[in-house]
Amino acid sequence: MSDDLKPTYTEKGKSFERDMSYVPDRILAGERSADPDDAAYGGRDPERDGITRWPVEPGRYRLVAAPACPWANRSLIVRKLLGLEEVISVGLPGPTHDKNSWTFDRDPGGVDPVLGLERLQQAYFNRYPDYPKGITVPAMVEVESKQVVTNDFPWITHDLFFEWQEFHREGAPDLWPADLREEMEQVMKRIFTEVNNGVYRCGFAGSQEAYDDAYDRLWAAMDWLEERLATRRYLMGDAITEADVRLFTTLVRFDAVYHGHFKCNRNKLSEMPHLWGYARDLFQTPGFGETVDFEQIKAHYYVVHTDVNPTGIVPKGPDLSVWETPHGPEELADG
């Protein structure tokens, strides 16, 4: 995502502002009426909003998603939860990059074995020769043309669920339950603004005032989540939803990166019993922990963010084996 490049600030208070404009195209199954109430559209009309439709077609697209990036990590989790591994291939850029692009430096010869590209930037330029914005992950790339289709990260995971249902594995979770969707949208909105993006607003704050505001908002939301999870296993009840995926990728990076690197240091995640038990529960659920690479996560933040960590030194800790420890109610009661 563009936060991996140079952060941008507003003039007043030097607050971090995330650029949320992406390649807006969608990979859609069949033809639908442009009904703003249709969950597949989420209020966006492809014709009205200038969104190009791409067809759902197994093997046509490659998901490029760096494990280091929390926004890309979402797509890796959803792909596994839904059983789409044989339908949508995945390219895995390495954790560090220069100002221009993510690179496939961990693949043999430094080249993605399917796309034949050294840099994700090439897929963007294949479609938009003068593409002016950050080269972000996750990105869906058409294999044959080697062109980026979309990098609109919230819609990538949304569409993996709604548009690729014909290819979901048997027993795949209902990540967007109809009866909970309205409340879930509100929960996810607060998680995004205050937690997912909140840690970045702390870490990239350009003034004490901006940092203090971001810090207070982050911890107000973390306390709200701690209270919410005191009475339920998952954010929306007794089943995993997209909301859990979106929160998990921030929580799993919290103690290893955000607590120190981004100055989110009121306390550690491991000191919040309900959030900590919840996070370990998800980590140990198939589809979650197997997509997490702590070595790459730490290398990315501590090496790429030279404004925050100019020495490039990567900390050895924390002890990450704690993610495999028991997380049941009896352990929470004892903790």
- How many angstroms separate the CA atoms of 255 and 126, rounded? 39
Percent of the chain residues past pLDDT 70, beyond the cut: 88
- How many angstroms separate the CA atoms of 131 and 133, rounded? 6
The catalytically annotated residue of 124, 200, 211, 278 is: 200
Instruction: Report pLDDT digits (tens) over 244-255.
Output: 999 999 999 999
What does pLDDT average to over the chain?
A: 91
Span 127-133, average pLDDT: 95
Q: Hey, what's the torsion of the CAs at 278, 267, 258, 229, to 10 degrees?
A: 20
> 161 forms bridges with which residues in the sheet?
none
The catalytically annotated residue of 22, 41, 61, 69 is: 69
Q: Does the active-site annotation cover 69?
A: yes
Give the residue ranges of DSSP H helices in the chain: 70-82, 120-127, 153-162, 181-190, 198-203, 208-228, 242-251, 259-261, 273-283, 294-304, 329-334
Q: Does the active-site annotation cover 264?
A: no
Whether omega before 286 lies within 30 degrees of 0, making that bond cis, reads: no
Helix (H, G, I), strand (E, B) or coil at 281: helix
Domains in the chain, CATH or no CATH each: 2-167 (3.40.30.10), 178-334 (1.20.1050.10)
Contact 82, 170 (CB under 8 A): no
- How many angstroms separate the CA atoms of 264 and 47, rounded? 42
pLDDT of residue 14: 80
Comparing 43-57, 80-94, 207-221, 270-284, the range with the smallest average pLDDT is 43-57
Instruction: Report pLDDT digits (tens) over 178-201.
Output: 999 999 999 999 999 999 999 999
- How many angstroms separate the CA atoms of 300 and 71, rounded? 13
Cα–Cα distances (Å) from 59 to 79, 140, 176, in that order, read 14, 12, 25
Instruction: Report pLDDT digits (tens) over 150-179.
Output: 999 999 999 999 999 999 999 999 999 999
For residue 45, pLDDT over 70 is answered with: no
Structure tokens at 1: 């995502």
Whether omega before 154 lies within 30 degrees of 0, making that bond cis, reads: no
To the question of pTM greater than 0.85 for the whole model, the response is yes
Question: Of 275, 314, 278, which is closest to residue 294 (Cα–Cα)?
Answer: 314
Contact 304, 135 (CB under 8 A): no
